[in-house]
Chain A
Amino acid sequence: MILLKYIIIFYNYLLLTYTICIGTIYLLLNILSFKRILQYKRKMAYVDLKKIFKFQNYKPISVIVPAYNEENTIVESIKSLLQLEYPEYQLIVVNDGSTDGTLEKIFNHFSIRQVAFSPLYKLDSMPVKSIYMSPRYQSLVVVDKANGGKADAINAGINISKNPLITVIDADSILERDCLLKIVRPFMENENIIAVGGTIRVANGCDIIQGNIVKIGIAHSWLARFQTVEYLRAFLFGRNGFDVLNSVMIISGAFSCFSRDALIKVGGYRRGSIGEDMEIIVRMHEVFRIENPETKITFIPDPVCWTEAPERLKILRSQRIRWQKGTIESLRLHMKILFNAKFGALGLIAFPYYVIFEMAGPIVEISGYFVFTFAYFFNIISTPFAIAFLSVVIIYGMVLSILSVVLEELSFKKFPNIQDLFMLFAAAVFENFGYRQLITWWRFKATIEYISGKRNWGKMEKKGFN
């Protein structure tokens, strides 16, 4: 009995340490990121990108857009993607066995005709039925294939890409016109770069006309507002921080760019993956970093891609469960990187961070809530300790979120209305009273499900991407 009491007290202190650790790590990441973002901004402020591209070794790009049941938005998306500012690129839309009118809409609007392409590469994918091009829109290529999931669709696109750089985009991503110019720049500056990720922002609340953001605003629902702050904290500052250590372990599938040769070398995306965007990056590290320690996977801090965040709890839940399972799967498949000095900071800092705080984190946190509540109600821990504990957990979290908003204002300053800024600050505060706990609970469930063998997407989700 007394032993149990001491174990519980010890566990509570462990939780406190855990919370302080994760908070401090995030703080450090924020600071590192901020420095890097300022550097980036300074570089970009006096660089006329288009002029540089005119002279330098710009490489043509193949933009791959996997599409499944997007009949409502596909025409507008394609129209908008055909207007990106880049000297030379081809747009490959992969219709992954849609059961709605996606292909028909493309047929009608873009007058596509069948062509006699054969694959240039042999990455794993479901059979391709036909390939089409349009006489009016000569950079458009449409691949019609049997359903196989997102990773499969991207592989099919890579197989017919003629250009040395491949950009992968979600069909509902909203891109800024000069996004390709920005994301390709690191490749031009450093031969060792094999992948670049773009920063994603939440589009909810923004005015969008024909696939273009014309005015940035803040979401109307609190759920989306919380996600906006979360994206700032995790995406903008978290991932950028890891970039400083050359330990980027995930770049978002909503907008990412790869060297085609690197993709071919690692065998393309893993079919049937839950988190294919993280899995391929970790695999690239594993394959390339030993051979060439200078290999780099990086991030551009510029927010060039906007995406709609789920506004319904049910959809958010399935998204977060998928993300958690994807993370665990990616880590599990590449465990040899853990604590492996050959991978530098990736093996010694980033990978362990993901294992301890991202993979095991939800279990620690949820168990922590139970143990803490139990301990408090059974007077195992004192009230002052309980208050201190709660303060650290909630206030640290709040301060970090507020800091993210502050840093965003000091760097990119994307929100024009001062009322929106206030809303963001409010969201940063309230996020910690329920939203974060809910996300953690779902992640905890996902972890348990994964460990107990439920590793698929679930029946409905298998065919779709969202």
Chain B
Amino acid sequence: MLVTSYFLICLIVEMRILSNHKSKQKLKFLNKFEPLLFSYLEGDGLPEEIVHKIPHRKYRFLLEYLGEFLLMLKGEDFNKLAALITSTKLSDYLLLKLSLNSKKNIIFSSFFVGIAKIKKAEPILQMKIKKHNDQIFFRCSTALARINSYESLNLILTEFKRFKYYSYLLLILTEFDEEICNKIIKLLKTELPEPLTVTFIRVLRYYKFQTAGQSVLTCLVYSYSKEIIIESLKFIEEIKYKKAIPAVSRLIEHSKPEISSQAVKTIMKLDSEAFEDRVYSKLFDQNYEVQYQAAYGILNYCNDGEEKLSELAYDLQNSNAAAISRMLLSEKKVKEG
């Protein structure tokens, strides 16, 4: 046991030393390369000329360094940096690493082929996402999405079924450009598992895709799932889809407080005048969340909202509504200074 401990300690220490050495080497490389990069960005030299000056064994350092810039930039500078990858030997280097079996290499190169939009990488990426590893699936799918490889969409959705984390799918889908919304609208017309529908509606909300109003309204009206209803309400609220008003108003008195409170929130943003009275009655609901949303809506979207809540603030018979009113009124007063 002692021997094992000693061995482990030595291993850890060695790993540290190696890592420190690598950092020092990287720093040395950067100090030499950075002036070259900046003058290239100003218009000096062609991509091939720059990369030619870097020895092959330093490609990894070069790419790690470029990667940080690529994440932060867009526009002309981004295009010039991406050209350093796409129009030079770096592209072949990455494609080679991508096609290897090593997880580390796949993960490393998938980032670059995606961000630099190397179309040639598509078939390799498609092959890799069929593997069982979730990290590889995620990285390669993200790369395909960044390349806007719509041909791969079905494959991604099929392979995704092996995993449970829909938040990952959300991140992947939002790497596509806005055209993904049109694809989603078509997919929403088919039978889908509930979490997938929710994810799709979230993507539509991310893009604030106005054209999807009717599709999401259909989901709202025909679904029994709490999550789908809530997500649809949020989308409708985001794009202010007035055609949905009748459907949303029917949900104000829903038995599930999560739905009722979201419906109250949404309706007040769409048409506070017409629904003021109905929402006012929700101030006396059993559930705190519903009461809160009703009070918030009345205060912020109705002309005489403040007076209404002030009356309620001292209503001894309805202590919850009174407490919420007092809190919201106080907050407003303090905000206004």
Tell whether any CB of A sits under 8 Å from a CB of B in the complex: yes
A residues in contact (CB < 8 Å) with B: 42-43, 45-48, 51-52, 54-57, 113, 115-120, 133-135, 138, 160, 162, 164, 188-189, 395-396, 398-399, 402-403, 406, 409-410, 418, 421-422, 425
Inter-chain contacts of A55 with B (CB < 8 A): 170, 202, 205-206
Inter-chain contacts of A48 with B (CB < 8 A): 171
- Known contacts: A46-B135, A48-B171, A120-B288. The answer to whether A402 contacts B9 by CB under 8 A is yes
Cross-interface CB contact of B334 among A52, A134, A398, cutoff 8 Å:
A134
Cross-interface CB contact of B135 among A42, A54, A57, A138, cutoff 8 Å:
A42
Cα separation A162 to B142 with both chains bound (whole Å): 38
The answer to whether the Cβ of B253 comes within 8 Å of any Cβ in the partner chain is no
- 1/0 per residue B325-337: CB within 8 Å of A? 0110111011101
Q: Flag if A402 contacts B167 (CB, 8 Å).
A: no
The answer to whether the Cβ of B95 comes within 8 Å of any Cβ in the partner chain is no
Cross-interface CB contact of A418 among B17, B323, B331, B335, cutoff 8 Å:
B17
> What 3 A-B pairs come out closest when comparing CB atoms?
A115-B330, A133-B334, A118-B323
The answer to whether the Cβ of B13 comes within 8 Å of any Cβ in the partner chain is yes
The answer to whether the Cβ of B274 comes within 8 Å of any Cβ in the partner chain is no
Q: Flag if B337 contacts A135 (CB, 8 Å).
A: yes
- Known contacts: A46-B138, A56-B202, A421-B16. The answer to whether A115 contacts B8 by CB under 8 A is no
Inter-chain contacts of A51 with B (CB < 8 A): 171, 174
Q: Flag if A398 contacts B327 (CB, 8 Å).
A: no
The answer to whether the Cβ of B292 comes within 8 Å of any Cβ in the partner chain is yes
B residues in contact (CB < 8 Å) with A: 1-2, 4-5, 8-9, 12-13, 15-17, 20, 134-135, 138-139, 142, 165, 167-168, 170-171, 174, 202, 205-206, 230, 288-289, 292, 313, 319-320, 322-324, 326-327, 329-331, 333-335, 337
**CB-nearest residue of chain A to B4:** A399
Cα separation A439 to B5 with both chains bound (whole Å): 24
Cα separation A134 to B171 with both chains bound (whole Å): 37
- Known contacts: A48-B171, A55-B205, A115-B333. The answer to whether A43 contacts B165 by CB under 8 A is yes
Q: Flag if A120 contacts B171 (CB, 8 Å).
A: no
Cross-interface CB contact of A162 among B1, B12, B327, cutoff 8 Å:
B327
Cross-interface CB contact of A135 among B13, B134, B323, B334, cutoff 8 Å:
B334
Inter-chain contacts of B170 with A (CB < 8 A): 52, 55-56
Q: Flag if B13 contacts A421 (CB, 8 Å).
A: yes
Q: Flag if A399 contacts B12 (CB, 8 Å).
A: no
Cα separation A321 to B200 with both chains bound (whole Å): 54
Cross-interface CB contact of B12 among A47, A116, A395, A406, cutoff 8 Å:
A406
Cα separation A421 to B9 with both chains bound (whole Å): 10
Cα separation A425 to B1 with both chains bound (whole Å): 15
Q: How far is the CB of A275 from chain B (nearest CB, A)?
A: 30
Inter-chain contacts of A47 with B (CB < 8 A): 167-168, 171
Inter-chain contacts of A45 with B (CB < 8 A): 135
